[in-house]
Amino acid sequence: MDGMDVGKNNRVLFLYSRLLEGQKLKKSELAEEFGVSDKSIQRDFESIRDFLDRKGIKEEDRMRLAYDYKEKAYRLERDNEMNLSNEEILAVSKILLESRAFTKKEMMSILDKLVVNCVPKKNLQLVKDMLGNERHHYVELQHHRSFMDKLIPLATAIKGNQVIRIKYEKVKGKETVERKLEPLAILFSEYYFYLVGFIKGIDKEKAFENANDPFPTIYRIDRIKELEPLNEGFVISSSKRFEEGEFRKRIQFMFGGKLRKVRFKYLGETAEPVLDRLPTARVVGKEGDAYIVEAEVFGKGIDIWVRSQGELITDYVVLKEL
């Protein structure tokens, strides 16, 4: 494009499009490329700055033209702190890889979109290198299923209090059942995404171990074969309103069931691992080197966790079912 006569307006558009691509632009190089003076390029940058400063642009979308004195070049940057820092991108990417929640194709795509936001380029390469080995050895879950297309329809139904119909493959025997649900929340735990909801129109005496269970049922989203939002709404009374955060504190391994109060002795050097694992847990006393811990939990998932602790946990008892 050396010496190309494109005119001021077109030249400004060329510069702006390059800035949007993340390029860093130097006045002297641009002046030579377009066959104009440094002052002309400076005026082009001022035109771009004026455009970006317009009040009509939404605050969350606002960007500013910044000058990098080290590289002696102009670049665009967000005019707020909503962008992830390089450190945050690396941390989030590590967490994503550890979650193993998505197929390999989906995971690599998400990571690529995250990492491309690292600046400058040397940091982008550093983050890529830090993730390279884990990306190469990433093993997706055994179901090998993509379920991302179900998340927004489910979120929309939850937000709009809209009844849905699903065809669901049970874990045991892989039997497919049809359920009509009042969807309440989407949760993530131990590699999987889950849908929480109340079942409509089912014989609870035949279908459930506890027919009077007042709590919602949990479904793994990757096992939902079909999903259909219905033209039917629902209302949750204030007494039954689902508090996602409170529910999440009390459930282990996404095993539903009755709300239970449990007590046990923990023989670890500190009670911190227990308090982190069980957000409702509290240390109610100490007996020698053992911490006496009480907690509220849903269902029998807690039993799996207790067994996994081996000799660190003794005298585990269910005080009462609520």
Please report which confidence band the pLDDT of residue 269 belongs to, taking 50, 70 and 90 as the band edges: very high
Identify the weakest region by mean pLDDT among 85-99, 210-224, 271-285: 210-224
Q: Is the pLDDT of residue 94 over 60?
A: yes
Residue 136 Cα distances to 128, 133, 163, angstroms: 11, 5, 41
Mean of pLDDT over the chain: 86
pLDDT tens profile 63-77: 788 888 888 899 887
pLDDT for position 3: 43
Q: Cα separation of 66 and 63, whole Å?
A: 9
Residue with the bigger pLDDT between 82 and 3: it is 82
Q: Is the pLDDT of residue 172 over 50?
A: yes
Q: Is the pLDDT of residue 262 over 80?
A: yes
Q: Is the pLDDT of residue 55 over 60?
A: no
pLDDT for position 208: 63
pLDDT for position 248: 73
Give the distance, in angstroms, between the CA of residue 227 and the centroid of all CA atoms in the same chain.
21
Q: Cα separation of 192 and 205, whole Å?
A: 29
Q: Cα separation of 255 and 297, whole Å?
A: 10
pLDDT for position 66: 85
Tokens of 4: 């190309």
Please report which confidence band the pLDDT of residue 322 belongs to, taking 50, 70 and 90 as the band edges: confident
Q: Cα separation of 269 and 275, whole Å?
A: 13
Strand ranges (E), the chain:
63-68, 73-78, 162-169, 176-189, 192-200, 217-220, 224-233, 259-266, 282-287, 290-298, 313-321
pLDDT for position 167: 97
CB 52 within 8 A of CB 65: yes
Residue with the bigger pLDDT between 214 and 49: it is 49
pLDDT for position 138: 95
Q: Is the pLDDT of residue 80 over 80?
A: no
Q: Cα separation of 236 and 200, whole Å?
A: 13
pLDDT > 70 in the chain, percent: 88
pTM: 0.70
- Find the mean pLDDT for residues 44-53: 87
pLDDT tens profile 122-169: 788 899 999 999 999 999 999 999 999 999 999 999 999 999 999 999
pLDDT for position 309: 94
Q: Is the pLDDT of residue 100 over 80?
A: yes
pLDDT > 90 in the chain, percent: 56
